[in-house]
Amino acid sequence: AKPRNVRWERAKTFFFGEKTGAAFENSKANARLRQTSLDFLDSAISDPELRKALTPDYAFKCKRVVRSSDFYAALDSERAELVPRAVTHVTANGVVDAGGVEHAVDVIVMATGFEAAKYLQTINVIGRNGVRLHDAWGDEPEAFLGISYPDFPNFFMLYGPNSNSPTASIIFILETQADFVIRQARRLKRKSGGSLEVRRGLHSRYNRWLQKRMTSTVWMTGCTNYQRGPTGRVVTNWPHHALLFWALTKMPTWMSSTTSPTPRTRTKELITEGK
């Protein structure tokens, strides 16, 4: 394909996601996608009881959407049986469900998932006055544009809190964040030292606005999902279109600066803390 055609196809895919991927509960896009999914379920599953068991009782996109053309067909096969109950324990011969029924099995596939809300959980990041980032976060990690946190000079991260996009590829978000960090690094180079960090007041206003917008998203409609932390606060996702996120990263004066060099922690100490 010619480069121009490739760029055009990429642009169409991107703006299709921007148009249909909004996660606000009462949006027309959300209602349309939910109905499309239900129509697909009706066409793929002939058994009404199986169809009922597979129909979610929560808002569309409240949990991660799985796109597949053959998953329903596999469940509708005579060789498969869907047990819509949780597993309570494992026996020598199989598994027992919440109804007390034992199911003989040869193989058990463990899908343990991941802890998306626990950012940088294997790394100790230490900021001004020896404060640890995990202590500052507690159970509600947050950051400005998912990149920076107050009182942690010259600390930048990618794919941090509230930067997972419901509309665009995460690659686009990572590229905008990386471009933001590069611009800050160039500022430091021009200053010949010193430090940069997000202003605390700006950081607080940004996150208050962000969480206020979260209240009308599908992630806050009562279902359990990986987007929320232990307190119930949404800590992984960005609620708006990816283009708004891109525009915010282009603002020139988000980071405050100091001209005095930032005190450095010795490498040996950092390695010890990391253990």
142-170 pLDDT, tens digit per residue, is 999 999 999 999 999 999 999 998 887 89
110-126 pLDDT, tens digit per residue, is 876 778 889 999 999 99
User: Is pLDDT at 262 greater than 50 in this prediction?
Assistant: no
pLDDT at 11: 83
Helix (H) or strand (E) holding 96: strand 94-97
Q: How far apart are CA 80 and CA 64, in angstroms?
A: 23
Burial class, 188, CB count within 10 angstroms (exposed 0-12 / middle 13-18 / buried 19+)? middle
Contacts of 62 (CB under 8 A, 6+ apart): 56, 218, 219, 221, 223, 225
Question: 265: alpha, beta or left, given left = phi > 0 and alpha = psi -120 to 50?
Answer: beta
8-36 pLDDT, tens digit per residue, is 888 888 777 777 666 877 888 888 889 99
Please give the C-alpha separations between residue 40 and each of 46, 50, 203, in angstroms, as whole numbers: 11, 14, 43
